[in-house]
Amino acid sequence: MTDAFLSLNIVNAPVIVTMTVISIALVLYLLIRRPTTRWVLTACIGAVSGALIGAVTILVTVNVMDLFGTRLSPVVDCWIILTFAAVAIAIVNLWLTRWWRKVIAAVSILIFVLTGTLGVNAAFGLDKTVAAFLGVTNAKPLDTGASSTGRPTADPSIDPGLPLYETWKAPADLPAAGSLGTVDIPNTVSGFPARTALAYVPPAGLVAAKPKLPVIIQLNGQPGSPGLDDPKVILDKLAAADNGLGPIVVNPDQLADDSKDPMCLDTSMGNVETYIMKDVVPWVKSHFVVSDDPKDWTILGFSNGGMCAAYFGAKYPQVFGNFVDISGDEYQGVDDRSTLSRVFNGDQAAYGAVWPKTIMSKTTYPDSVGVFAVGANDQEALGGVKRTYDAAVAAGIHATYTEIPGSSHDNVALDGGLSRGYDVLYPRWGLTKPSS
């Protein structure tokens, strides 16, 4: 029962549609009373006042305080304003009414707030299930097949000098889909208190005679928690067309607390950089049958994770031959004016030295690929992503830049960026034949 609840989709029908219909019905009930001049005036003042409070709340939190680090889409604005208006209508029903109407009005406030929250979440589309919204996971532990006797080995009959699309023959017992589950990555070196990580293994990685597969280290946004539902859907479709081939995707937690941003560095907020490079990377190599070639290793992220991907891809080309920056921040703490003083003690040179574009300007890239994608309507992230892309090109990185049509800082941009990244990297990994 708990798993069923946590797995409940809160973005698509029927949940969001049902809650919206119930809310509309309650608003109509609360409005329909004997149409006296006093009531009509009270209801109008309540609805308008609520809408204005909602609009002012958006103005203060987004434009003045910049709590979200980005501007909200018109759809999100509408959900917020309508929710405040509905709550105000319920509040004015608490006076000079019979007891049962007061009870219904009080319950309606809770329902309106819940519906508005679900509506805003649906507009972003990043938390698709109850579990994702609550920042927990109901995924079961993933059996990596690793043993204590040493690193798992690949099928020796597969020629490592040829691309997998030519040499890999899918066995009869190839699973129809990949497997997604939790993995326990010890923080032995870093001590970073990361939350439970997730991993996805494509069908080709689930058979006895495994090929060496490419790796994606995927990082989430902030706030956020590990989640691979969207990649699994896309990667399973690609695997169905590519004889079960695909990348191993590991999604560690670079935040520990999604209300804070440790900026993927080693600071007083935690040794995130050491965690990724000295805990996560070695653990992946020891638990999966994967290639060691940097061209087969990719770090990918969205929003905060996109900045982290550009940082690690810029600083560690000998490990990550590819990076995918989806709607990433331009640099660490870009939306927090206190970062310079709080983290770098006012040392602008030290602060600027960790920016991805600064690192790119001082590093040589003999064979690195960078994929940059951003929502075409994401005015907060678009400029920064473009500038980081320009820096990558200037540094000699083979980079692509894509604006995802009809998207802002949302799930549409995430899925579009993932698909663009796979399109670029699958031929490089030898999973598909390069297009002519």
Q: How far apart are CA 302 and CA 197, in angstroms?
A: 16
pLDDT for 38-92, tens place per residue?
Answer: 999 999 999 999 999 999 998 888 777 766 655 667 888 899 999 999 999 999 9
pLDDT at 152: 78
178, burial (CB in 10 Å: exposed 0-12, middle 13-18, buried 19+): buried
Q: Is the pLDDT of residue 154 over 80?
A: yes
Q: Give residue 387's Cα distance to chain centre.
A: 21
Q: Please enumerate in sequence order all residues whose Cβ is within 8 A of that of 135, keeping only pairs 6 or more positions apart, or say none.
A: 223, 224, 225, 258
Does CATH number 3.30.1510.10 belong to domain 140-429?
no
pLDDT at 161: 86
Q: Tell me phi and psi for residue 7, to 5 degrees.
A: -85, -5
Averaged pLDDT for residues 111-138: 82
Q: How far apart are CA 303 and CA 400, in angstroms?
A: 17
The vertex-65 CA angle with 61 and 71, nearest 5°, equals 60
Neighbours of 54 (CB within 10 A): 23
pLDDT at 6: 77
pLDDT at 276: 98
pLDDT at 260: 82
Range in 66-70, 170-174, 199-203, 228-232 the model is least confident about: 66-70
Q: Is the pLDDT of residue 128 over 80?
A: no
β-partners of residue 215 are 248, 297
* Helix axis angle, 74-92 to 37-58, nearest 10°: 140
Q: Please enumerate in sequence order all residues whose Cβ is within 8 A of that of 99, keeping only pairs 6 or more positions apart, or say none.
A: none
The vertex-300 CA angle with 296 and 302, nearest 5°, equals 165
Q: Which residues of 6-17 are buried (b: 16+ CB within 10 A; e: fewer)?
A: beeebbeeeebe
Averaged pLDDT for residues 14-41: 92
β 266-267/270-271 pair status:
antiparallel
Averaged pLDDT for residues 198-203: 97
**Mean pLDDT over each residue of the chain, to the nearest integer:** 91
pTM across the whole model: 0.84
| Number of H-type helices and E-type strands within the chain | 16, 10
50 closest CA partner among 19, 92, 13: 92
Q: How far apart are CA 284 and CA 402, in angstroms?
A: 30
Range in 78-82, 120-124, 322-326, 403-407 the model is least confident about: 120-124
Range in 123-127, 292-296, 335-339 the model is least confident about: 123-127
Q: How far apart are CA 416 and CA 298, in angstroms?
A: 17
Question: Which tokens hold the place of 348?
Answer: 């602008």
* Long-range own/partner contacts, residues 56-60 (CB < 8 A, 24 or more apart): 57/84
pLDDT at 146: 60
Q: What percentage of the chain reaches a pLDDT higher than 90?
A: 68
pLDDT at 1: 53
What are the residue ranges spanned by the domains of the chain? 2-124, 140-429
Averaged pLDDT for residues 360-366: 96
CB 43 within 8 A of CB 91: no
CA distances to 308, 385, 398, 399 from 314, in Å? 10, 14, 12, 12
pLDDT at 351: 93
